[in-house]
């Protein structure tokens, strides 16, 4: 079971890395990939690895482990400056995340309206970025409708800013790391919107086939994150979703680039004005939230 889980983790990590190094004709192996975010009221989380390409002829799982070890950045330096103070993040193993090594700190929490500059270094690699945490996005209610053991999850928001970018993510409550929902990056077309929350979660661990509806279950609840983000951060998530949905095979390099807000690197550093909600997939329900 543990070996199977490890293979699955390696597969997902390599898929993500291949997205970031995504030009087939010429791949830049000299850049660092940053995956990081800071939510309002939360501590920053940053993951680092170096980019590389992937072909259909990749060898077996033993070599995948070697590749994983070679490209994960375990002893880098990550500094975040909030306009007043600089904090060096501490690195540690955490298998709840992919890659399973994070940089974080308890000495800094995100604040709405504040900017956060990130500088990550490792050997000859260096990457910088800056993000701002916008006002929080809020769901007024979430409804679940069940049909044939499939759950349609719908969010209702009445306080959106027209033209502004938002993202929707989800995870099981047994996990820590959110995944972007399919079609989960959008601009508000009106102040009041009804939004389908699509399923980004692989509940079975078997393959990576996209399922837009959640499975009905009484054993797993899901957490939903609804966040307002900046323009550069939206461009990353929007291009990531577009490439993810159109590339066909997960283990094939693609011809288009994901738009990054990382200077001298790839990936994203994302300030989120986020609200989080927990819902059940067991039965039809309506969740109403106070403002």
Cα–Cα distance for residue pair 201/179, rounded to 1 Å: 7
With contact defined as beta carbons under 8 Å apart, do 121 and 76 qualify?
yes
Domain limits, the chain:
2-288
- Amino acid 3: pLDDT: 44
Q: If you count them, how many residues does the chain have?
A: 291
pLDDT of residue 141: 98
Tokens of 280: 């059940």
pLDDT of residue 67: 62
Beta bridge partners of 49: 33, 72
Per-residue pLDDT of the chain (291 residues; tens, 9 = 90+): 444 444 444 444 444 444 433 333 334 556 889 999 999 999 999 999 887 655 444 554 444 556 666 778 999 999 999 999 999 999 999 988 878 899 999 999 999 999 999 999 999 999 999 999 999 999 999 999 999 999 999 999 999 999 999 999 999 999 999 999 999 999 999 999 999 999 998 776 555 455 789 999 999 999 999 999 999 999 999 999 888 765 543 333 443 578 999 999 999 999 999 999 999 999 999 999 986
CA gyration radius, the chain = 19
C-alpha angle with apex 287: 282 to 288, nearest 5 degrees? 175
Predicted local confidence at residue 239, as pLDDT: 92
Q: What is the DSSP string of 263-284?
A: BTEEEEEEEEEEEEEEEESSS-
pTM: 0.83
To the nearest 10 degrees (0 to 180), the angle between helices 61-71 and 2-20 is 60
141 contacts 161 by C-beta, under 8 angstroms: no
């Amino acid at each position: 079971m543990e070996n199977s889980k490890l293979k699955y983790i390696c597969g997902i990590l390599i898929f993500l890395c291949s997205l970031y190094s995504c030009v087939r004709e010429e791949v830049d192996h000299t850049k660092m990939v940053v995956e990081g975010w800071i939510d309002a009221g939360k501590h920053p989380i940053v993951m680092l690895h170096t980019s590389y390409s992937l072909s259909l002829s990749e060898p077996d799982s033993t070599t995948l482990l070697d590749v994983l070890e070679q490209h994960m950045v375990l002893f880098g330096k990550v500094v975040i400056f909030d306009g007043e103070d600089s904090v060096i993040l501490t690195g540690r193993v955490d298998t709840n995340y992919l890659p399973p090594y994070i940089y974080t700190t308890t000495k800094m929490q995100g604040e709405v309206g504040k900017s956060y500059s990130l500088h990550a270094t490792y050997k000859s690699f260096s990457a910088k970025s800056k993000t701002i945490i916008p006002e929080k996005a809020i769901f007024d209610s979430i409804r679940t409708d069940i049909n044939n053991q499939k759950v349609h999850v719908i969010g209702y928001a009445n306080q959106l800013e027209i033209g502004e970018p938002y993202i929707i993510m989800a995870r099981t409550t047994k996990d820590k790391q959110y995944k972007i929902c399919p079609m989960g990056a959008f601009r508000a077309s009106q102040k009041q919107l009804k939004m389908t929350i699509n399923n980004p979660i692989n509940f079975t661990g078997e393959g990576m086939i996209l399922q837009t509806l959640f499975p009905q279950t009484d054993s797993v609840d899901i957490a939903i994150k609804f966040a307002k983000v900046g323009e550069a951060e939206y461009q990353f998530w929007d291009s990531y979703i577009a490439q993810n949905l159109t590339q066909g095979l997960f283990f094939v390099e693609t011809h288009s680039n994901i738009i990054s807000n990382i200077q001298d690197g790839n990936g994203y550093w994302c300030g989120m004005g986020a609200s989080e909600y927990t819902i059940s997939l067991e039965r039809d329900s309506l969740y109403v939230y106070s403002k």
